[in-house]
Amino acid sequence: MRRYRSLLRPLAGVVILGILLRQLGAGPFVDALLGIDARSLAAATLLAALTTVCGAWRWVLVARGLGGELSLRSAVAECYRSQFLNVTLPGGVMGDVNRGVRHGRDGGDLGRGLRSVVWERSAGQVVLVALTLGALLLLPSPLHPTSPGAEPSAAAGTSVSSSVVVALVGVTVVVLVVVLVAVVVGRAERGCDRSLAGRAVRTAVADVRAGVLGRHTWPGVVASSAVVVAGHVGTFVVAARSAGVTAPLLGLAPLALVVLVAMGLPLNVAGWGPREGAAAWAFGTAGLGASAGVGTAVVYGVLVLVASLPGAVLLVVAGRAGPARADALNAHTLVVEGSARG
């Protein structure tokens, strides 16, 4: 069953792309690719550098909050490698698993290394969802009734209703999760000391308190996450302009945030699938056209891939350094053993 689930996740992305190709044809995909230029690639690369450093800093804060050691320089390198693997392998999470394993092995605690990545990514997603809900409710966009020049219509009413429903669902889910965690933690503390589930819950709660909500941790986590989201939105706007979308920035920002939330779903093929489907829906609902949404998402995917290429270079360098490091360790071991015998 585990094997089938791992196959079904990328298959879902393939199905979404297939539906879009059937409904819209290959035109939006091809036209979007032809609109990419050097300026777009340069802007995306610079924005990726900013988001990578901020994401690495967030990881450093969480890892140190959990009691691990992680330098910003190492974190930036690992994040670049992780991004390249995420955008080239099915599922979109293999890069994060890889950096969690590497960090855990280097620190002598594999579990803590993996948990640091889980909580770092989770904190970023929470901030992303919060900003998305706020944008849907507050920003004057095509999904909001206060849009400049908006005229009352059935379509506008549907768009407003959709945004309100999305916001209410998001708030409800957050409240339910908080209540559920509180109930589980309470039961675990009252009598589940010997339960594996109880220990897992207590470990998770301790991790969140120390690694995310610590007094010296959470401000940096929130700030870095906000910058990361802003950088991704900026890249999305660059992609939209390359795809020929002329909507104002405040109109594109909520759409970008909705697409970013959809991108967090591990049901993709190297990042493709849910992103294009969500963009087609969001742009269509906003009256910009599903084709424009797909084109923007396609350009975004290409820009992200190009911006992650430093990670490929670092993977090659790490692959070459691995055997050399092993040889050095073996030589050191021989020297130590020889000295001991002498």
Q: Which ranges of 192-244 does DSSP label H, i.e. alpha helix?
A: 196-207, 218-242
Is 58 within 8 Å of 119 (Cβ atoms)?
A: no
pLDDT of residue 327: 45
SS3 177: helix
> CA distances (Å), 263 to each of 2, 67, 68, 268, in order?
22, 30, 29, 8
Q: Is the dihedral of CA 338, 340, 341, 342 positive or negative?
A: positive
Give the per-residue pLDDT at 150: 42
* C-beta of residue 252 within 8 angstroms of C-beta of residue 69: no
The pLDDT value recorded for residue 148 is: 43
User: Percentage of the chain surpassing pLDDT 70?
Assistant: 64
How far apart are the C-alpha atoms of 232 and 259, rounded to whole Å?
10
Q: What is the DSSP secondary structure assignment for residue 89, as one 8-state letter?
A: S
Q: What is the pLDDT of residue 43?
A: 96
Cβ–Cβ < 8 Å for 270, 88:
yes
Q: Which residues of the chain have pLDDT under 70?
A: 1-21, 23-29, 31, 33, 140-198, 266-271, 320-342
Question: Running DSSP on this structure, what letter comes out for residue 144?
Answer: S
The answer to whether 283 touches 271, Cβ cutoff 8 Å, is: no
Chain centroid to CA 134: 19
Give CA–CA dist 274/13, Å, rounded: 6
Quickly count: other Cβ atoms within 10 Å of residue 66's Cβ: 23
